[in-house]
Amino acid sequence: MVEKLALGAMLFGTVTDERRSFEILDRFVDAGGVWIDTANCYSFWEDASGFGGQSEALLGRWLASRPGVRDRVRISTKVGCEPTEAGRFPETAEGLSAGVVKKGIEGSLRRLGTDHVELYWAHKPDPVTPLEETVAAFDELVSAGAVGRLGCSNYPVWQVERARQIARDRGGVGFTAVQQHHTYLRPRPGTQPTVVHRFGAVSDEVIHYLEHHPDMALWAYTPLLSGRYTRADKPLAAEYDHAGTTDRLAVLDEIADETGANRNQVVLAWLTGGSPAATPIVGVSTVGQLDDALAGAALDLTDEQRRRLDAAA
Protein backbone atom coordinates (compact mmCIF):
# COMPACT_ATOMS: atom_id res chain seq x y z
CA MET A 1 0.00 0.00 0.00
CA VAL A 2 1.10 3.54 -0.70
CA GLU A 3 1.09 4.36 3.03
CA LYS A 4 4.18 2.16 3.30
CA LEU A 5 6.23 4.66 1.25
CA ALA A 6 7.56 8.12 1.95
CA LEU A 7 8.07 10.52 -0.94
CA GLY A 8 11.58 11.96 -0.92
CA ALA A 9 11.55 15.68 -1.79
CA MET A 10 15.33 16.18 -1.67
CA LEU A 11 15.72 17.55 -5.19
CA PHE A 12 12.41 19.40 -5.43
CA GLY A 13 13.07 23.05 -6.14
CA THR A 14 16.57 22.45 -7.53
CA VAL A 15 17.12 19.55 -9.94
CA THR A 16 13.37 18.91 -10.22
CA ASP A 17 11.60 22.12 -11.18
CA GLU A 18 8.44 23.43 -9.58
CA ARG A 19 5.99 22.29 -12.24
CA ARG A 20 7.20 18.71 -12.22
CA SER A 21 7.56 18.66 -8.42
CA PHE A 22 3.93 19.76 -8.06
CA GLU A 23 2.82 17.06 -10.51
CA ILE A 24 4.62 14.38 -8.49
CA LEU A 25 3.26 15.67 -5.17
CA ASP A 26 -0.30 15.82 -6.54
CA ARG A 27 -0.07 12.29 -7.88
CA PHE A 28 1.35 11.03 -4.59
CA VAL A 29 -1.50 12.49 -2.56
CA ASP A 30 -4.15 11.42 -5.07
CA ALA A 31 -2.83 7.85 -4.78
CA GLY A 32 -3.20 7.97 -0.99
CA GLY A 33 0.37 8.87 -0.10
CA VAL A 34 0.93 10.40 3.32
CA TRP A 35 4.58 10.92 4.27
CA ILE A 36 6.81 13.50 2.57
CA ASP A 37 10.47 13.58 3.59
CA THR A 38 12.76 16.60 3.32
CA ALA A 39 15.46 18.48 5.27
CA ASN A 40 16.52 22.05 5.95
CA CYS A 41 19.75 21.45 4.00
CA TYR A 42 18.13 20.18 0.77
CA SER A 43 19.70 20.74 -1.61
CA PHE A 44 22.65 23.02 -0.83
CA TRP A 45 24.99 21.13 -3.21
CA GLU A 46 22.68 21.81 -6.16
CA ASP A 47 21.99 25.50 -5.51
CA ALA A 48 24.27 28.35 -6.58
CA SER A 49 24.00 29.90 -3.11
CA GLY A 50 25.68 26.90 -1.48
CA PHE A 51 22.87 26.73 1.09
CA GLY A 52 19.72 24.63 1.36
CA GLY A 53 16.05 25.30 2.03
CA GLN A 54 14.80 25.01 -1.55
CA SER A 55 12.93 21.75 -0.98
CA GLU A 56 11.07 22.97 2.11
CA ALA A 57 10.24 26.27 0.39
CA LEU A 58 8.78 24.45 -2.62
CA LEU A 59 6.72 22.22 -0.34
CA GLY A 60 5.46 25.34 1.40
CA ARG A 61 4.32 26.83 -1.90
CA TRP A 62 2.65 23.56 -2.87
CA LEU A 63 0.81 23.32 0.45
CA ALA A 64 -0.31 26.95 0.19
CA SER A 65 -1.69 26.36 -3.31
CA ARG A 66 -3.61 23.22 -2.30
CA PRO A 67 -6.15 24.19 0.40
CA GLY A 68 -6.85 21.30 2.75
CA VAL A 69 -3.96 19.10 1.62
CA ARG A 70 -1.92 19.80 4.77
CA ASP A 71 -4.45 17.74 6.72
CA ARG A 72 -3.83 14.79 4.38
CA VAL A 73 -0.04 14.63 4.55
CA ARG A 74 2.63 14.21 7.20
CA ILE A 75 5.86 16.14 6.97
CA SER A 76 9.24 14.68 7.92
CA THR A 77 12.20 17.07 7.99
CA LYS A 78 15.68 17.24 9.48
CA VAL A 79 18.27 19.52 11.09
CA GLY A 80 22.02 19.21 11.49
CA CYS A 81 23.59 19.15 8.02
CA GLU A 82 23.07 22.66 6.67
CA PRO A 83 26.49 24.24 5.99
CA THR A 84 27.23 27.48 7.79
CA GLU A 85 29.70 28.47 5.07
CA ALA A 86 29.01 27.90 1.38
CA GLY A 87 31.29 25.35 -0.24
CA ARG A 88 32.61 23.99 3.06
CA PHE A 89 30.72 20.84 3.93
CA PRO A 90 30.97 18.79 6.07
CA GLU A 91 33.48 20.78 8.09
CA THR A 92 31.02 23.65 8.65
CA ALA A 93 27.85 21.60 9.14
CA GLU A 94 25.57 23.37 11.63
CA GLY A 95 25.51 20.54 14.18
CA LEU A 96 22.87 19.94 16.83
CA SER A 97 23.35 22.49 19.59
CA ALA A 98 20.23 23.74 21.38
CA GLY A 99 20.41 27.03 19.49
CA VAL A 100 20.74 25.33 16.11
CA VAL A 101 17.85 22.95 16.80
CA LYS A 102 15.58 25.83 17.85
CA LYS A 103 16.60 27.99 14.88
CA GLY A 104 16.33 24.99 12.59
CA ILE A 105 12.70 24.19 13.38
CA GLU A 106 11.75 27.85 13.18
CA GLY A 107 13.24 28.12 9.70
CA SER A 108 11.70 24.85 8.53
CA LEU A 109 8.22 25.78 9.74
CA ARG A 110 8.50 29.20 8.09
CA ARG A 111 9.53 27.73 4.73
CA LEU A 112 6.91 24.99 4.92
CA GLY A 113 4.20 27.44 5.94
CA THR A 114 2.97 25.25 8.77
CA ASP A 115 2.99 25.35 12.57
CA HIS A 116 4.22 21.81 13.11
CA VAL A 117 5.84 18.79 11.51
CA GLU A 118 4.92 15.23 12.31
CA LEU A 119 8.50 13.89 12.44
CA TYR A 120 11.74 15.77 13.11
CA TRP A 121 15.14 14.16 12.62
CA ALA A 122 18.66 14.73 13.88
CA HIS A 123 20.30 14.47 10.47
CA LYS A 124 23.65 13.11 11.62
CA PRO A 125 25.61 12.90 14.89
CA ASP A 126 27.22 16.10 16.18
CA PRO A 127 30.72 15.25 17.50
CA VAL A 128 30.93 18.50 19.49
CA THR A 129 27.57 19.11 21.19
CA PRO A 130 26.85 16.95 24.27
CA LEU A 131 24.11 14.45 23.53
CA GLU A 132 22.25 15.65 26.62
CA GLU A 133 21.91 19.12 25.10
CA THR A 134 20.60 17.80 21.80
CA VAL A 135 18.10 15.46 23.46
CA ALA A 136 16.78 18.26 25.68
CA ALA A 137 16.42 20.62 22.71
CA PHE A 138 14.45 18.09 20.70
CA ASP A 139 12.24 17.27 23.68
CA GLU A 140 11.34 20.94 24.07
CA LEU A 141 10.05 21.02 20.51
CA VAL A 142 7.66 18.15 21.24
CA SER A 143 6.48 19.83 24.44
CA ALA A 144 5.85 23.04 22.49
CA GLY A 145 3.75 21.21 19.90
CA ALA A 146 6.06 22.08 17.01
CA VAL A 147 7.03 18.44 16.48
CA GLY A 148 5.11 15.20 16.80
CA ARG A 149 7.78 12.47 16.87
CA LEU A 150 11.57 12.44 16.90
CA GLY A 151 14.05 10.45 14.84
CA CYS A 152 17.78 10.20 14.25
CA SER A 153 19.55 9.53 10.97
CA ASN A 154 23.02 8.09 10.34
CA TYR A 155 23.61 7.38 14.04
CA PRO A 156 25.60 4.45 15.47
CA VAL A 157 23.43 2.13 17.53
CA TRP A 158 25.18 2.92 20.83
CA GLN A 159 24.38 6.61 20.41
CA VAL A 160 20.75 5.89 19.56
CA GLU A 161 20.36 3.91 22.77
CA ARG A 162 22.23 6.45 24.87
CA ALA A 163 20.03 9.28 23.57
CA ARG A 164 16.91 7.28 24.33
CA GLN A 165 18.16 6.54 27.84
CA ILE A 166 18.87 10.23 28.44
CA ALA A 167 15.33 11.05 27.35
CA ARG A 168 13.89 8.36 29.64
CA ASP A 169 15.90 9.63 32.59
CA ARG A 170 14.60 13.15 31.96
CA GLY A 171 11.03 11.97 31.64
CA GLY A 172 11.06 13.34 28.11
CA VAL A 173 10.37 12.12 24.60
CA GLY A 174 13.12 10.21 22.85
CA PHE A 175 13.84 9.01 19.34
CA THR A 176 11.30 6.55 17.96
CA ALA A 177 12.69 6.20 14.44
CA VAL A 178 16.00 5.70 12.69
CA GLN A 179 16.71 6.69 9.09
CA GLN A 180 19.53 4.77 7.41
CA HIS A 181 20.57 3.67 3.96
CA HIS A 182 18.93 0.30 3.36
CA THR A 183 18.49 -1.75 0.20
CA TYR A 184 18.55 -5.35 -1.01
CA LEU A 185 22.12 -5.52 -2.28
CA ARG A 186 25.04 -5.50 0.14
CA PRO A 187 28.39 -3.77 -0.41
CA ARG A 188 31.62 -5.73 -0.22
CA PRO A 189 32.66 -6.19 3.44
CA GLY A 190 35.01 -3.48 4.55
CA THR A 191 33.72 -0.92 2.04
CA GLN A 192 31.43 2.05 2.55
CA PRO A 193 28.40 2.52 0.29
CA THR A 194 28.82 5.54 -1.97
CA VAL A 195 27.35 8.83 -0.66
CA VAL A 196 26.45 7.36 2.71
CA HIS A 197 27.47 8.85 6.05
CA ARG A 198 29.89 6.88 8.22
CA PHE A 199 27.20 5.15 10.28
CA GLY A 200 24.48 5.60 7.69
CA ALA A 201 24.17 2.08 6.30
CA VAL A 202 21.87 -0.44 7.95
CA SER A 203 23.91 -3.20 9.54
CA ASP A 204 22.96 -6.45 11.21
CA GLU A 205 23.44 -4.65 14.54
CA VAL A 206 20.87 -2.03 13.54
CA ILE A 207 18.40 -4.77 12.56
CA HIS A 208 19.02 -6.62 15.82
CA TYR A 209 18.40 -3.44 17.83
CA LEU A 210 15.14 -2.75 16.01
CA GLU A 211 13.96 -6.34 16.48
CA HIS A 212 14.30 -5.85 20.24
CA HIS A 213 12.78 -2.35 20.31
CA PRO A 214 9.40 -2.55 18.56
CA ASP A 215 8.67 1.10 19.36
CA MET A 216 11.40 2.06 16.88
CA ALA A 217 10.59 2.54 13.19
CA LEU A 218 13.04 2.07 10.31
CA TRP A 219 13.12 4.50 7.39
CA ALA A 220 15.28 3.56 4.41
CA TYR A 221 16.95 6.17 2.23
CA THR A 222 18.31 5.50 -1.27
CA PRO A 223 16.52 2.12 -1.33
CA LEU A 224 16.76 1.82 -5.12
CA LEU A 225 20.40 2.93 -5.41
CA SER A 226 19.41 5.98 -7.46
CA GLY A 227 18.12 3.85 -10.33
CA ARG A 228 20.99 1.40 -10.50
CA TYR A 229 18.82 -1.71 -10.23
CA THR A 230 17.12 -1.05 -13.55
CA ARG A 231 19.06 1.53 -15.58
CA ALA A 232 21.86 0.36 -17.87
CA ASP A 233 23.25 3.90 -17.98
CA LYS A 234 23.77 3.87 -14.20
CA PRO A 235 26.04 0.93 -13.32
CA LEU A 236 26.40 -0.28 -9.76
CA ALA A 237 29.17 1.29 -7.71
CA ALA A 238 32.46 -0.58 -7.30
CA GLU A 239 31.63 -1.74 -3.77
CA TYR A 240 28.87 -3.95 -5.20
CA ASP A 241 31.22 -5.74 -7.60
CA HIS A 242 31.37 -9.15 -5.91
CA ALA A 243 29.86 -12.62 -6.20
CA GLY A 244 27.14 -11.91 -3.63
CA THR A 245 25.69 -9.22 -5.87
CA THR A 246 25.52 -11.65 -8.79
CA ASP A 247 23.64 -14.17 -6.65
CA ARG A 248 21.24 -11.61 -5.23
CA LEU A 249 20.44 -10.07 -8.61
CA ALA A 250 19.75 -13.53 -10.03
CA VAL A 251 17.15 -14.24 -7.33
CA LEU A 252 15.75 -10.72 -7.68
CA ASP A 253 15.22 -11.34 -11.39
CA GLU A 254 13.57 -14.70 -10.69
CA ILE A 255 11.07 -13.10 -8.32
CA ALA A 256 10.46 -10.25 -10.75
CA ASP A 257 9.61 -12.76 -13.50
CA GLU A 258 7.30 -14.71 -11.19
CA THR A 259 5.39 -11.62 -10.06
CA GLY A 260 5.38 -9.69 -13.34
CA ALA A 261 7.19 -6.88 -11.56
CA ASN A 262 10.59 -5.28 -12.08
CA ARG A 263 13.65 -5.20 -9.83
CA ASN A 264 12.72 -1.89 -8.21
CA GLN A 265 9.27 -3.11 -7.30
CA VAL A 266 10.56 -6.34 -5.77
CA VAL A 267 13.13 -4.43 -3.71
CA LEU A 268 10.43 -2.12 -2.36
CA ALA A 269 8.15 -5.08 -1.57
CA TRP A 270 11.04 -6.81 0.21
CA LEU A 271 11.69 -3.71 2.32
CA THR A 272 8.11 -2.87 3.23
CA GLY A 273 7.18 -6.45 4.07
CA GLY A 274 10.35 -7.32 5.95
CA SER A 275 10.96 -7.85 9.63
CA PRO A 276 11.44 -5.21 10.78
CA ALA A 277 9.40 -3.51 8.08
CA ALA A 278 11.00 -0.44 6.53
CA THR A 279 9.51 2.76 5.16
CA PRO A 280 11.42 3.34 1.91
CA ILE A 281 11.97 6.98 0.96
CA VAL A 282 11.57 7.07 -2.80
CA GLY A 283 13.12 9.97 -4.65
CA VAL A 284 11.59 10.29 -8.10
CA SER A 285 11.82 12.86 -10.86
CA THR A 286 8.76 11.87 -12.93
CA VAL A 287 5.20 10.76 -12.30
CA GLY A 288 6.01 7.55 -14.16
CA GLN A 289 8.78 6.71 -11.70
CA LEU A 290 6.39 7.41 -8.83
CA ASP A 291 3.75 5.09 -10.28
CA ASP A 292 6.41 2.39 -10.60
CA ALA A 293 7.28 2.80 -6.92
CA LEU A 294 3.64 2.76 -5.88
CA ALA A 295 3.25 -0.57 -7.67
CA GLY A 296 6.20 -1.90 -5.67
CA ALA A 297 4.57 -0.86 -2.40
CA ALA A 298 1.42 -2.72 -3.43
CA LEU A 299 3.29 -5.92 -4.35
CA ASP A 300 2.91 -8.83 -1.92
CA LEU A 301 5.66 -11.43 -1.83
CA THR A 302 4.96 -14.96 -0.67
CA ASP A 303 6.81 -16.34 2.32
CA GLU A 304 8.69 -18.67 0.01
CA GLN A 305 9.78 -15.82 -2.26
CA ARG A 306 10.92 -13.79 0.71
CA ARG A 307 12.93 -16.75 2.05
CA ARG A 308 14.70 -17.08 -1.30
CA LEU A 309 15.53 -13.39 -1.38
CA ASP A 310 16.83 -13.49 2.19
CA ALA A 311 18.87 -16.64 1.63
CA ALA A 312 20.76 -15.38 -1.43
CA ALA A 313 24.47 -14.98 -0.71
Q: What is the pLDDT of residues 70-82, one digit of tens each?
A: 999 999 999 999 9
Catalytic-residue membership of 42: yes
In eight-state DSSP terms, residue 150 is E
Distance CA 144, CA 164 (A): 19
Mean of the per-residue pLDDT values of the chain: 96
Catalytic site residue from 42, 155, 229, 240: 42
Q: What is the pLDDT of residues 13-35, one digit of tens each?
A: 999 999 999 999 999 999 999 99
For residue 230, give every residue at least 6 positions away whose Cβ sits within 8 Å of its Cβ, in sequence order, or none: 224, 262, 263, 264
Distance CA 245, CA 32 (A): 34
Distance CA 82, CA 40 (A): 7
For residue 125, give every residue at least 6 positions away whose Cβ sits within 8 Å of its Cβ, in sequence order, or none: 96, 154, 155, 156, 159, 199
| Residue 43: closest CA among 75, 82, 101, 100 | 82
Q: What is the pLDDT of residues 109-138, one digit of tens each?
A: 999 999 999 999 999 999 999 999 999 999
For residue 96, give every residue at least 6 positions away whose Cβ sits within 8 Å of its Cβ, in sequence order, or none: 79, 80, 122, 125, 126, 129, 133, 134, 137
What pLDDT does residue 2 have?
75
Q: What is the mean pLDDT of residues 299-304?
A: 97
Q: Is 34 helix (H, G, I), strand (E, B) or coil?
A: coil
Residue 1: which pLDDT band, with cuts at 50, 70 and 90?
low
Q: What is the pLDDT of residues 100-111, one digit of tens each?
A: 999 999 999 999
- For the chain, how far is it from start to end, CA to CA, in angstroms? 29
Residue 190: which pLDDT band, with cuts at 50, 70 and 90?
confident
Q: Which CATH number fits domain 2-311: 3.40.50.720, 3.40.50.1010, 3.20.20.100, 3.20.20.70?
A: 3.20.20.100
Q: pTM value?
A: 0.96
H or E element in which residue 133 lies: helix 131-143
| Residue 298: closest CA among 259, 265, 267, 274 | 265
